[in-house]
Amino acid sequence: MLKHVADGVLVHESEFIQSNCTVVQGRDGVLLVDPGITVNEMAAIADDLRELGQGVVAGFSTHPDWDHVLWHPDFGSPPDRGSRCLGIRRHAVRHPDAIPRP
């Protein structure tokens, strides 16, 4: 569940480990920062965004640790940001079974 923390900023805290996904709303859609950890969490974030009528226009990983570079197909295929993380995220998109499940 996304929680409103400031104007245009929503956060989801993972139940799996203490990690946050940050959603920054813009006029064309959202920037998704460190998009989530488990398949169910990421699907729930995608559902929340759909309910808000917001699409993902960009993804950003703050650093290349595994819990910051995962992606879910329901987020779509926006351009990635954070060049060190691109290869890891692309691998996760191609191999969704690698996403941990609690």
Query: Does an H or E element contain 90, and which?
Result: helix 86-94
- In the predicted model, what is the mean pLDDT of the chain? 80
* Cα of 77 vs its chain's centroid, Å: 12
Per-residue confidence (pLDDT) for residue 64, from 0 to 100: 72
What pLDDT digit, counting tens, does each position of 59-93 carry?
Answer: 888 877 777 777 888 988 866 555 445 555 566 66
What pLDDT digit, counting tens, does each position of 33-46 carry?
Answer: 988 888 888 999 99
Domains and CATH numbers, the chain: 3-98 (3.60.15.10)
Contacts of residue 77, Cβ cutoff 8 Å, sequence gap at least 6: 93
Q: What is the pTM of this model?
A: 0.74
